Structure 1
Amino acid sequence: MDNKGRVTLPAQLRQQLDLYPGAEIEFLVKEGGEWYLRRADSQPSCRYCGLQVDLVTIGRDTLCRRCAEKYYRALAQKLGLGEVGASGNLNNKKGKLR
């Protein structure tokens, strides 16, 4: 990496990924700190685990259903909205969102 944060990819890797000057790439970080890169126009995958099936898009994020459910449950708990039931509904003691 140079002092401007630019990274040079080896020629063999550029050929393997069919990258050309001006091609867009993404650096993705998985849970646990692992990272990988891919062509930006490649098939979408989960932002957290990299899975490429059973995806949902929320805003600009793409998540697999498993990670989306984990995120939803964690968010509900963090916001004090009650527990999330098996059906995905909030089981709030007051019966409504706060």
Structure 2
Amino acid sequence: MPKQIKIMNEYAVTWPLWNEAGPAEPGELPVSESTSARLRSWARLFNDHSDWESGWDDTELVEPHRLEAHTLLRLVQDEVGDGDDVRLHLWETDL
């Protein structure tokens, strides 16, 4: 049965992959070390520069963050295979 995988940031979450039950554990999904590093870097940028009350501290980071998210979507989908449904929930860039 296909799994639904979500790529999504959340405050204080360092691994931005989610399964149907909630946050996925690192290593739970078959993603490469390089993609894992990019996912962690993407989440770190969000955690370092976005605040739950005031939003982004530098709006020039928003578009590169959005572009990286779409790249990560393609990478994760390629690595987990066509049998699973990978979706991007990019709530943090809706300014």
State whether TM-score is above 0.5.
no
> Larger C-alpha radius of gyration, 1 or 2?
1
TM-score, normalization by structure 2: 0.23
What is the TM-score normalised by the length of structure 1?
Answer: 0.23
With a CA cutoff of 8 Å and minimum separation of 6, indicate the structure with the bigger relative contact order. Answer: 2
